[in-house]
Amino acid sequence: MIDILMPRLSDTMEEGAIAIWHKKPGDTVAIGDILVEIETDKTTMEYEAYDAGVLHTILVPEGEQATIGMAIAQLDDGSSTEPTFQPAPAARAQAAEEGGGSTAAAATHTSPPEVPIAADQRLLATPLVRRLAREHAIDLTEVTGSGPGGRIVRADIDDALARPSSTAGASTTTGVDAPQPTTVPTALDDGRQSTAVPFDKSRQVISRRLTESATTTPQFTVTAAADVEDLLALRVDLNAHLASSERPKISVNDLLVRACAIALREHPEVNASYSPEGRGQTLLHERVNIGIAVASDTGLVVPVITDADQKTASQIATESRRLAGLAKERSLGTADMSGGTFTISNLGMYGVEQFTAIINPPQGAILAVGAAQLEPVVIDGAVQIRHRMRYTLSADHRIIDGALAARFLAALTKLVEQPLNIIA
Amino acid sequence: MSIMTYRQALNDTLRSEMLRDENVLLIGEEIGVFEGSYKITAGLLAEFGEKRVRDTPIAEEGFTGAAIGAAMLGLRPVVELMTINFSLLALDQIVNHAAKIYGMFGGQARVPLVIRTPGGGGQQLGATHSQNIELYYAFVPGMKVVAPSSPADAKALLLAAIRDDDPVLFLENLALYNTKGEVPDDDTPAEIGRAAITREGADITVVAYSRMAAIALEVAEQLAEADGIDVEVVDLRSLRPLDRDTVIASVKKTHCAVVLEDDWLTYGIGAEIAATISDGAFDWLDAPVRRVAMAEVPMPYSKPLETAALPSAEDAATAIRQTLAAVARRA
């Protein structure tokens, strides 16, 4: 019997959700067969079988999550006639009852995938865990096992070990005689009639990473405005030419990506990341890879246009169109979203005048772009009506100072106002 | 300290011990005029003469028995068995005589005998000439079995084996003869029965000996670089007596272990190590002990099949990764 484990499908992945099982128990599995589709923090990926056999048990059903390394299914390869676990769907509750365990653990949003444990099988925990549980009075029926088949391993009781005093108290409430919660904790009833919508994988990652960015990075913002009359005219011209040769149109954002890439090339200190190595370092990135924040149906994603400084505006247009298409189909791969050195978030299409964005870690800066809007402007002592656009750079002050941010924006504004330099 | 091959370390040590003690003599097939099938005895016949470097007929039982008799009477013979496979022909002499004489006859005679012999596959020598059967001797009380994995240990353990008053099977390995390493200049013998932690680590204990102990170090460095996995390598060095304390102490620190062995899995050295860990570190274990061993087949002659049958660095890395995945620390 072989345990099929939740694989690590991306660098930032910590757990994955089962999207679709392509095999069901009893199905023959050949090496290379698609076993399952797994939804990670970034995308949904197919996972192939590395061993042949017959799928014996699915341990993590569709829609449930598992941490990396947790067994999600068992494959019978003929190596053992006895399955490690007898599937017994009703057994878990029974085991909890027998052990006097609380069912509350199963009601939290981090509830473990249903690991079938036969009624006659004891709770799975390693000898190390059992010893530590004895020494620290930890009730193992309250602990979620992340090892093979749901086995409780040392890593699962880190939290419990970290709070020695409260665990002893907590464990007494789960004794056999203690009153047991009989229902799921009720929804918050505070007059707001709330409904809890659990985070999906990508929301979890956004939440974690942006909290980290906002709370651990000293960020400041610098705003500039540019006259985009010439830029808009150039775009109309360009698209007229492109349309005649049946090439995809270029958006204002594509031109901004290109302009940012050139400005980053001029100011490489902005194309950088903070690193805590040694006593702190500025990591200067040789490549200019620009992420574009895309609001897709499935959430916020940031596909990356690599080497944007070496691509023409029409290449960037083609590339961003392809990435937006993939984002819509939810089939962006890890490679499509990795390696960004700078991000552009553009809310101009919603008529937003200006806003600030939170840095996408570990990048050093992000540009928040507003809409091109008609404004009265004083030119040569006369008021004229011109299209203007505002953009705001959020920068990591550990590596970028205000003057540098201002110089970068000045370079960007110069490009935007003399747009032939963008496509030259 | 000088850099030399495992082969050179053995040759130098035999020579220096023959110079140190005139009771040390060499006996075996093709070790004199031909200077040894693997050239471990190169130059020694010319230097020490036929009295101390004896070529024998192809008769392992006979010359091993003669060496046992010589040892009982005070000489310190070093037998070369061309490969460990041929030790089967001397099995009765080794198991029933060398190992038992001291105990059976009230301590009247000791048997300060060394049997040098290489194990190992990978040379396309076929099923009968590619075995790792050191276990047969490690199984027998009265024997000592040592298995150096580096040139430095080849020297230190050979010094210890020759100076030991009990019969010692000294396991060499065909794949190690050309490996190079630093060897101390001084003649300090190793302590037989003492394992070495050849790499300290925090995440997982890898236990191995002979060729697989060298592989273990390679794999540990690769995993440290590629995955940031911190492997502790325990090189057993001695299969009997077995240094259980060092293995247990390491597992108490890392909470999981993988055993690498070139012999067959079932009833192998790894099984003894796994039992040792279960006995001594049960309450510290966070994952089952895994073993990586040779495929349970007579060694195939075909090169691809032989390669597939032998445990590889990749097999070791996979077992380490899977064990760490099982303790939810790394994929």
Q: What is the pLDDT along chain A (424 residues), one digit of tens a residue?
A: 888 888 877 767 778 889 889 888 888 888 888 889 888 877 788 888 878 888 988 988 888 888 888 889 988 887 754 434 333 333 333 333 333 333 333 322 223 333 444 444 568 899 999 988 888 888 888 888 888 878 888 888 887 787 644 433 333 333 333 333 333 444 455 778 888 888 877 788 888 889 989 999 999 999 999 999 999 999 999 998 888 888 889 999 999 999 999 999 999 999 999 998 888 999 999 999 999 999 887 778 899 999 999 999 999 999 999 998 888 887 888 888 889 999 999 999 899 999 999 999 999 999 999 999 999 999 899 999 999 999 999 999 999 999 999 999 999 999 999 999 998 8
* Confidence at residue B36, expressed as pLDDT on a 0 to 100 scale: 96
Q: Which of A5, A127, A155 sits opposite B282 (nearest CB)?
A: A127
A1 touches B: beta carbon within 8 Å:
no
Tell me how crowded residue B297 is: count the other CB atoms within 10 A of its CB: 11
**Token pair belonging to B229:** 């996995």
Measure in Å the smallest separation between the Cα of A280 and chain B Cα atoms: 21
| 3-class state of residue B304 by DSSP | helix
Measure in Å the smallest separation between the Cα of A156 and chain B Cα atoms: 8
B150-179: average pLDDT? 97
Q: Are A231 and A256 in contact (CB under 8 A)?
A: no
Q: Do B328 and A153 touch (CB under 8 A)?
A: yes
pLDDT at B133 over 90: yes
A129 touches B: beta carbon within 8 Å:
yes
**Token pair belonging to B103:** 């105990």
**Of B17, B29, B60, B80, catalytic:** B60
Residue with tokens 């690193």: A275
**Token pair belonging to A388:** 């203007």
Question: CA-CA distance, B21 to B163, in Å (whole number)?
Answer: 10
Which of B107, B110, B28 shows the shortest CA–CA distance to B69?
A: B110
What is the number of CB-based contacts under 8 A between chain A and chain B?
A: 53
Question: CA-CA distance, A36 to A23, in Å (whole number)?
Answer: 7
**Token pair belonging to B148:** 């150096």
* Confidence at residue B80, expressed as pLDDT on a 0 to 100 scale: 98
Question: CA-CA distance, B259 to B290, in Å (whole number)?
Answer: 6
Which residues of B fall below an 8 Å CB-CB distance to A? 255, 282-287, 322, 324-331
**Token pair belonging to A237:** 């011209």
Q: Do B326 and A127 touch (CB under 8 A)?
A: no
| 3-class state of residue B117 by DSSP | strand
Angle at A110 between CA A107 and CA A116, to 5 degrees: 75
A161 touches B: beta carbon within 8 Å:
no
A134 touches B: beta carbon within 8 Å:
no
Question: CA-CA distance, A272 to A286, in Å (whole number)?
Answer: 9
Q: Please measure the distance between the N-terminal and C-terminal CA atoms of chain B and give it in whole angstroms.
A: 40
Which of A359, A344, A95 shows the shortest CA–CA distance to A217?
A: A359
How many helices (H) and strands (E) would you count in chain B?
Answer: 12, 14
Cα dihedral A175, A181, A182, A185, rounded to 10, equals -160
**Of B30, B61, B129, B255, catalytic:** B129
Residues of B in contact with A15 (CB under 8 A): none
Question: CA-CA distance, B20 to B189, in Å (whole number)?
Answer: 13
Amino acid identity, residue B113?
Answer: L
Cα dihedral B48, B53, B55, B58, rounded to 10, equals -160
Q: Which of B286, B326, B329 sits opposite A128 (nearest CB)?
A: B286
Measure in Å the smallest separation between the Cα of B322 and chain A Cα atoms: 8
Tell me how crowded residue A5 is: count the other CB atoms within 10 A of its CB: 20
Q: Do A67 and B328 touch (CB under 8 A)?
A: yes
Helices (H), A273-423: 313-328, 402-417, 420-423
Angle at B26 between CA B20 and CA B30, to 5 degrees: 145
Measure in Å the smallest separation between the Cα of B307 and chain A Cα atoms: 20
Residues of A in contact with B283 (CB under 8 A): 127-128, 130-131
Measure in Å the smallest separation between the Cα of A406 and chain B Cα atoms: 40
Q: CB-based burial of residue A19 (10 Å sphere; 0-12 exposed, 13-18 middle, 19+ buried)?
A: middle
* A8: nearest CA partner in chain B: B331
Contacts 24+ apart (CB under 8 A), A87-92: A87/A57, A87/A116, A87/A118, A88/A116, A88/A117, A88/A118, A88/A119, A89/A114, A89/A116, A91/A116, A91/A117, A91/A118, A91/A119, A91/A121, A92/A116, A92/A117
Residues of A in contact with B331 (CB under 8 A): 5, 7-8, 68-69
Q: Which of B283, B284, B327 sits opposite A155 (nearest CB)?
A: B327
The Cα-based distances of B145 to B132, B162, B238 in angstroms read 13, 12, 6
Question: CA-CA distance, B70 to A121, in Å (whole number)?
Answer: 61
B113-124: average pLDDT? 95
The Cα-based distances of B154 to A129, A373, B14, B141, B237 in angstroms read 40, 81, 11, 23, 10
Measured in degrees and rounded to the nearest 5, phi and psi for residue A86 equal: -85, 125
* Confidence at residue A97, expressed as pLDDT on a 0 to 100 scale: 35
* B330: nearest CA partner in chain A: A69
Q: Do B287 and A153 touch (CB under 8 A)?
A: yes
* Residue in A2, A11, A79, A128 to test binding to B, most B beta-carbons within 10 Å: A128
A153 touches B: beta carbon within 8 Å:
yes
* B331: nearest CA partner in chain A: A69
The string of DSSP letters for A79-129 reads: S-SS-SS---TTHHHHHHHHTT--SHHHHSTTPPP-----TTSPPPB-HHH
Q: Is B22 among the catalytic positions?
A: no
Identify whether A89 is preceded by a cis peptide bond (ω within 30 of 0).
no
* Confidence at residue A150, expressed as pLDDT on a 0 to 100 scale: 81
Question: CA-CA distance, A413 to A419, in Å (whole number)?
Answer: 10
> Which uninterrupted H or E stretch holds A220?
strand A219-227
Q: Are A288 and A359 in contact (CB under 8 A)?
A: no
Q: Which of B282, B286, B330 sits opposite A129 (nearest CB)?
A: B286
Residues of B in contact with A7 (CB under 8 A): 331
Which of A79, A35, A38, A69 shows the shortest CA–CA distance to A55?
A: A35
* Confidence at residue B112, expressed as pLDDT on a 0 to 100 scale: 98
Q: Which of B284, B285, B329 sits opposite A155 (nearest CB)?
A: B329
A348 touches B: beta carbon within 8 Å:
no
Q: Are B245 and B214 in contact (CB under 8 A)?
A: no
Which of B163, B218, B208, B210 shows the shortest CA–CA distance to B187?
A: B163
A69 touches B: beta carbon within 8 Å:
yes
Residues of B in contact with A130 (CB under 8 A): 283
* Residue in A1, A9, A115, A126 to test binding to B, most B beta-carbons within 10 Å: A126
* B287: nearest CA partner in chain A: A126
Q: Which of B287, B325, B327 sits opposite A5 (nearest CB)?
A: B325
A51 touches B: beta carbon within 8 Å:
no
Q: CB-based burial of residue B216 (10 Å sphere; 0-12 exposed, 13-18 middle, 19+ buried)?
A: buried
The DSSP secondary-structure symbol of A187 reads P
Residue with tokens 């540019």: A226
List the B290-294 sheet strands across, edge first. B196-199, B231-235, B204-208, B257-264, B290-294
Q: Do A153 and B326 touch (CB under 8 A)?
A: yes
Residues in Cβ contact with A90 at an 8 Å cutoff, skipping those fewer than 6 apart: none
A12 touches B: beta carbon within 8 Å:
no
Which of B194, B199, B147 shows the shortest CA–CA distance to B168?
A: B147
* Residue in B266, B279, B285, B327 to test binding to A, most A beta-carbons within 10 Å: B327
Residues of A in contact with B252 (CB under 8 A): none
Q: Do A147 and B328 touch (CB under 8 A)?
A: yes
Amino acid identity, residue A302?
Answer: V
Q: CB-based burial of residue A358 (10 Å sphere; 0-12 exposed, 13-18 middle, 19+ buried)?
A: middle
Amino acid identity, residue A397?
Answer: H
Q: Do A148 and B282 touch (CB under 8 A)?
A: no
Residues of B in contact with A153 (CB under 8 A): 286-287, 326-328
Residue with tokens 């032989």: B306
Question: CA-CA distance, A224 to A410, in Å (whole number)?
Answer: 8
Residues in Cβ contact with A19 at an 8 Å cutoff, skipping those fewer than 6 apart: A36, A37, A38, A39, A44, A62
Q: Are B157 and B173 in contact (CB under 8 A)?
A: no
| 3-class state of residue B159 by DSSP | helix
Residues of B in contact with A70 (CB under 8 A): 328
Residues of B in contact with A127 (CB under 8 A): 282-286
Measured in degrees and rounded to the nearest 5, phi and psi for residue A55 equal: -65, 120
Residues of B in contact with A5 (CB under 8 A): 322, 325, 331
Q: Is B314 among the catalytic positions?
A: no
Residue with tokens 């676990």: A85
Q: Are B185 and B159 in contact (CB under 8 A)?
A: no
